[in-house]
């Protein structure tokens, strides 16, 4: 009996071939497609904006109101005020003069000369000026920042001082410490924790 090619479950029988002579023909499988590895894009989280501080009382002895005005102009310290009696939060800014050994001797000599010449010669002083910013909570210091610089100053004993005893160079430097303080306070962990805790107990009222 004449056989025709029959494909049964992958078996190809040629005409006249016996079943034992069946040749298995398996079609070649296509090569697997290359799958690109997934790419993870890391997007850095935006830095959180510095939280606005709650009402803080200001107490300062440096340069009159000049440092106070500069600090209050910063949005984070917009609620800084000198008129908050009894406030548990206070920013205290003080300064001190630390006379060096050489400056002490030179100052004494120049004071004697200035006095003996009735003020014709100026008084020359050399001091380390230290400005301290201290954040206080219920009378306990929370964070402290101290900035220090040495100045030599020459002043006539009869001249009117408009620099709060700091001299022109010292006053300019005192103003510059405000930016240093603001930058340091913005990254202070203790102050950030205080603001977070205050917001938990005294949440901001939603805008009406």
Q: Is the pLDDT of residue 26 over 50?
A: no
Average pLDDT, stretch 28-49? Answer: 44
pLDDT at 28: 52
CATH code of the domain made up of 56-189: 3.30.160
Q: Considering the chain, what percentage of its residues have pLDDT values greater than 90?
A: 36
pTM passes above 0.85: no
Return the number of other C-beta atoms located less than 10 Å from residue 40's C-beta: 5
pLDDT at 123: 63
Q: Is the pLDDT of residue 113 over 70?
A: no
pLDDT at 115: 54
pLDDT at 22: 43
Q: Is the pLDDT of residue 75 over 90?
A: yes
pLDDT at 151: 81
Q: Is the pLDDT of residue 35 over 70?
A: no
So where are the chain's domains?
A: 56-189
Model confidence at 176, in pLDDT bands (50, 70, 90)? Answer: very high
Q: Considering the chain, what percentage of its residues have pLDDT values greater than 70?
A: 58
Task: Give the chain as a 3 state SS string.
Answer: CCCCCEEECCEEECCCCCHHHCEECCCCCCCCCCCCCCCCCCCCCCCCCCCCCCCEEEEECCCCCHHHHHHHCCHHHCCEECCCCCCCEEEEEEEEEEECHHHHHHHHHHHHHHHHCCCCCCEEEEEEEEEEEEEEECCEEEEEEEEEEEEEEEECCCCCCCCCCCHHHHHHHHHHHHHHHHHHHHCCHHHHHHHHHHHHHCCCCCCC
User: Could you tell me which residue, 125 or 72, shows the higher pLDDT?
Assistant: 72
């Amino acid at each position: 009996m004449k056989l025709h090619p029959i494909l049964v479950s992958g078996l190809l029988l040629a005409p006249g071939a016996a079943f034992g002579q069946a040749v298995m023909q398996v079609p070649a499988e296509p090569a697997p497609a290359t799958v690109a590895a997934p790419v993870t894009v890391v997007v850095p989280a935006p830095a959180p904006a510095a939280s606005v501080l709650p009402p803080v009382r200001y107490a300062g002895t440096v340069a009159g109101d000049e440092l106070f005005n500069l600090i209050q102009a910063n949005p984070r310290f917009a609620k800084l005020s000198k008129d908050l009696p009894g406030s548990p939060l206070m920013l205290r800014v003080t300064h001190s003069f630390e006379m060096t050994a050489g400056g002490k001797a030179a100052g004494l000599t120049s004071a004697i000369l200035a006095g003996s010449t009735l003020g014709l010669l100026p008084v020359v002083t050399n001091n380390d000026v230290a400005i301290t910013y201290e954040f206080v909570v219920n009378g306990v210091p929370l964070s402290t920042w101290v900035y220090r610089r040495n100045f030599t100053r020459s002043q006539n004993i009869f001249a009117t001082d408009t620099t709060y005893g700091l001299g022109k160079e010292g006053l300019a430097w005192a103003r510059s410490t405000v930016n240093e303080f603001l930058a340091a306070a913005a990254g202070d962990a203790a102050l950030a924790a205080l603001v977070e805790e205050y917001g938990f107990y005294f949440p901001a009222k939603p805008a009406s």
